[in-house]
Amino acid sequence: MATTPPKAYEHPRLSPDGKRVVLGITGDNPHIFVYDIAANSLKQITTEANNAIPIWTPDGKRVTFRSTKPGPWNVFWKNADGSGTAEQLTNTPFVTEPTSWSSDGKLLAFSEQNTVSKRDIFVLQMDGRKLVPVIQTPADESVPRFSPDAHWLAYVSDESGRAEVWVQPYPTNGQKWRISTSGGREPVWSPSASEFFYREGTRMMVVDIKTTPSFTAAQPRLLFDGKDGKYETALASRPNFDITSDGKRFLMLQPVDNGQSSAQIKIVSNWFDEVKRRVPAK
């Protein structure tokens, strides 16, 4: 088990090799940090403006995040060791949220909020830096997450009247499937794409998935419940947890009762054995 000092952490993401965690620390001047698990060290890698919502590039060499450096929130990336300067990847007057890279590093999925409350989904093609709209409807769509093979895109939409998790092919062909049944946020694919995780309030849900010969999704089932403040949930749709590359451990934020808004990172080994013991699959 790895434990960090209590701070106002948000949106932790494990590096591709599982040795580091990138995350934001909120406050009056939010920034991006990288936590080295073995060394138990926390390093700030951004210094200018406000920065949030970090994700790793697939090779683990850079961290992608949004920043107010140009004024409006835009997407940047920077060397994961903090060296060099951050490079701007998008240039828009609207609020952007980067949430997923394709495994080959050629596509970056993000949402863009171009009205007061509604977001749409775009993909930045790194070859030529071409911006491609993917989902643009009157509904609010956010948190696009590529499947491990980048053939599928999960996202959150309120088109049904409440936030639910959906999946559609990438590139889109008009088909889509609703994954959650009673509301859903914080979508995360398993490394094998055979399972899909999301949260329904404090409840961590899991769905068995098949993508061949056609897409099918089983009924969601409860994996565990983080009620009573056991684990931090997200204030928005974007995930506030992650899963290791072997699919056997979760990285969670655990609130700390110290009179402040703070949490610790918990990386728990043999998590699924414990879950199966306490909450048998039905």
pLDDT tens digits for range 159-195:
999 999 999 999 998 899 999 999 999 999 999 999 9
Mean pLDDT (whole number) for 225-249 = 88
pTM comes to 0.92
The model's confidence at residue 236, banded by pLDDT at 50, 70 and 90, is confident
Q: Is the pLDDT of residue 278 over 50?
A: no
Q: Which domains, and CATH codes, for the chain?
A: 2-278 (2.120.10.30)
The string of DSSP codes covering the chain is -EEPPPB-EEEEEE-TTSSEEEEEE-SSS-EEEEEETTTTEEEE---SS-EEEEEE-TTSSEEEEEE-TTSS-EEEEEETTS-S--EE----SSEEEEEEE-TTSSEEEEEEE-SSS-EEEEEEETTTTEEEEEE--SS-EEEEEE-TTSSEEEEEE-TTSS-EEEEEESS--S--EE--SS--EEEEE-TTSSEEEEEETTEEEEEEEE-SSS-EE---EEEEE-TTTTSPPPSSSS-S-EE-TTSS-EEEEEE--SSSS-EEEEEETTHHHHHHHHS---
Average of pLDDT values for 201-226?
94
Residue range 148-163: mean pLDDT, rounded: 97
Q: What pLDDT is recorded for position 227?
A: 83
